Each structure stands twice: as structure tokens, then as C-alpha cells.
Amino acid sequence: MTIGTWRVLYEAVVDRKRHCMCQCVECGVRKIIMAFKLRQRYALRCRECKIKQDLVAV
């Protein structure tokens, strides 16, 4: 499943909260993101890609 630029690799439950191991489809960075942030569309892009885009735009 892909949400924004994140591809969900797998899900896990930690302390009764769902987390997802995600990989950015643009740069390949992997990060653990809380599932509700993906569902609510709070986390659509990785930070590294956003920083790169902001630097190019300046």
C-alpha cells in the first residue's frame, strides 16, 4: 500500500499502538511511522525529500 510517497512494508503493534515500517518511493529512506498519522494523512512525504525540494526551490 502506498500513501503519499510512503510505501508500507509491514505493520506491527507496539504498546497497543499500530506502527508501520515505511519506505519512501522517491529516495528509499525507511522510517517507522504511527499508523494513525498515515490514515489521517499527516505524514505524506519523507523529511529528506521535503528538505531537498525546499532547497531546490530557493
DSSP letter at 45 equals: S
Residue 10: predicted pLDDT: 95
Q: Of how many residues is the chain composed? A: 58
Residue 30: predicted pLDDT: 94
Q: Which residues are CB-neighbours of 38 under 8 A, at least 6 positions away? A: 3, 6, 8, 20, 22
Residue 51: predicted pLDDT: 80
* Integer CA distances (angstroms), 16 to 40, 49, 51, in order: 18, 30, 32
Q: Which three cell numbers stand for residue 21?
A: 515500517
Residue 58: predicted pLDDT: 65
* pLDDT top residue among 7 and 46: 7
Q: Quick one: which of 3, 48, 10 has its CA closest to 29? A: 48
pLDDT digits (tens, 9 = 90+) for 18-54: 999 999 998 999 999 999 999 998 888 888 888 877 7
Residue 31: predicted pLDDT: 94
